[in-house]
Amino acid sequence: MTVFIIRRLSQSLLVLFITSIIVFAGIYAIGNPIDILIAPDATFAEREQAIKALGLDQSLIEQYGTFLWNALHGDLGRSFVFNQPSIDLILNRMPATLELAFVALFLSLAIGIPLGLWSGLRPNSVLDETVMTGSILGFSLPNFWQGMMLIMIFSVWLGWLPSTGRGEVDTVLGMRTSLTSWSGISHLILPAFNLALFKISLVTRLTRSGVRENMPLDFVKFARAKGLSERRIVSVHVLKNIMIPIVTVVGVEFGGIIAFAIVTETIFAWPGMGKLLIDSIMRLDRPVVVAYLLVVVTLFIVINFVVDILYSLLDPRIRLGSAA
């Protein structure tokens, strides 16, 4: 276990290092931010001064060297646009995105697993066909369209839920959350559901195929022969076997939810990190983009680590020491 953690940690640092090079060079290649940052009627002297102040007069290698040196000292640079530490900008917005992502994850599991079990245990019934058709819609309808339809139905026609922004926010255990008040929750429902729809379909299908794969196996028949209740067979024997593929896929997808909730955040004007990323790319705000991607890569590394640990808890045949 210790060996596993040490090896994983050194791999992670390497990944972060390589990501930083690629992102840095990529953003550098897109264009010179100075053209966007200063007014078109600025004098040559003003322009020169701004370039110097931002360190844009140095070569790419020099700029990267400075960035790396600062990064190793815990400073990921200041935003060109906001003139604030870029990491502060990101961490400021992160709780909103994390909240949205966790609620979406919860919805996808809380709805997807029961639906999958339900239809998997009654294959080819009307219910099963309905759920399967519904999941195809969930897969194939574009996310932004689903979002607009949700707003149209629940905000415009029915008027039940607000369509934009984040509601009341309370601080609980140092985290700012909107889960403590109805205003907060009502603002959260539509974006979270929009973000979760695709995952609900995915989890439903994974669960259903897992059930159909596992139910005919001998261990299920043996469990029945032991006199266990059908409820225990499904919720313990079968479900624990199914959780392995679900954890794999959901783990990968969860990183995606956090990092790229951009479409949903844009539609519902949710003040999260995704919107910050889009704005920063438009303004060529390089320190923010680089810092953002490093944060996202770190999140992915953490999620993968958690998934690996969950594996070893779910499947006794997996031992972490031998995992690469």
Stretch that binds other proteins, among 40-48, 202-210, 301-309, 311-319 (CB under 8 A): 311-319
From residue 311, give the alpha-carbon distance in Å to each of 91, 191, 239, 251, 275: 30, 30, 14, 11, 33
How near is the Cβ of 322 to other proteins at its closest, in Å?
A: 14
How near is the Cβ of 262 to other proteins at its closest, in Å?
A: 37
Residue 314 contacts other proteins per CB under 8 A: yes
How near is the Cβ of 105 to other proteins at its closest, in Å?
A: 23
Which of 233, 213, 238, 220 has the alpha carbon at shortest distance from 113? 238
Q: Which is nearer to other proteins, 153 or 217 (CB)?
A: 217
Question: Rounded to whole angstroms, how far apart are CA atoms 15 and 7?
Answer: 12
Residues 6+ apart with CB under 8 A from 274: 97, 259, 260, 261, 262, 263, 264, 265, 266
How near is the Cβ of 124 to other proteins at its closest, in Å?
A: 12
Stretch that binds other proteins, among 55-63, 87-95, 186-194, 239-247 (CB under 8 A): 239-247
How near is the Cβ of 206 to other proteins at its closest, in Å?
A: 17
Stretch that binds other proteins, among 17-25, 171-179, 231-239, 270-278 (CB under 8 A): 231-239
How near is the Cβ of 219 to other proteins at its closest, in Å?
A: 5
Residue 94: CB atoms within 10 A of its CB come to 18
Binders of other proteins: how many residues, by CB under 8 A? 23
Compose the 194-223 pattern: x for residues touching other proteins by CB under 8 A, - for all others: ----------------------xxxx-xxx
Residues 6+ apart with CB under 8 A from 141: 197
Residue 57: CB atoms within 10 A of its CB come to 12
Residues 6+ apart with CB under 8 A from 224: 230, 233
Of these, 21, 127, 236, 252, which contacts other proteins (CB under 8 A)? 236
Residue 229 contacts other proteins per CB under 8 A: yes
Q: Which is nearer to other proteins, 67 or 311 (CB)?
A: 311
Residue 241 contacts other proteins per CB under 8 A: yes
DSSP 61-79: HHHHHHHHHHHHTT---B-
Of these, 45, 158, 225, 282, which contacts other proteins (CB under 8 A)? 225
Question: Rounded to whole angstroms, how far apart are CA atoms 187 and 270?
Answer: 9
Structure tokens at 304: 């993968």
Of these, 44, 59, 226, 282, which contacts other proteins (CB under 8 A)? 226
Of these, 224, 235, 279, 306, which contacts other proteins (CB under 8 A)? 224
Q: Which is nearer to other proteins, 62 or 230 (CB)?
A: 230
Question: Rounded to whole angstroms, how far apart are CA atoms 263 and 129?
Answer: 30
Residues 6+ apart with CB under 8 A from 41: none
Look up residue 245 and give its amino acid: P
**Residue 227 — left, alpha, or beta (φ > 0 → left; ψ -120 to 50 → alpha)?**
left
How near is the Cβ of 212 to other proteins at its closest, in Å?
A: 13
Are 288 and 90 contacting, i.e. CB atoms less than 8 angstroms apart? yes
How near is the Cβ of 185 to other proteins at its closest, in Å?
A: 36
How near is the Cβ of 302 to other proteins at its closest, in Å?
A: 25
Question: Rounded to whole angstroms, how far apart are CA atoms 272 and 261?
Answer: 8
Residue 317 contacts other proteins per CB under 8 A: yes
Look up residue 173 and give its amino acid: L
Binding positions for other proteins, rule: CB under 8 A: 216-219, 221-229, 232, 236-237, 240-241, 244, 314-317
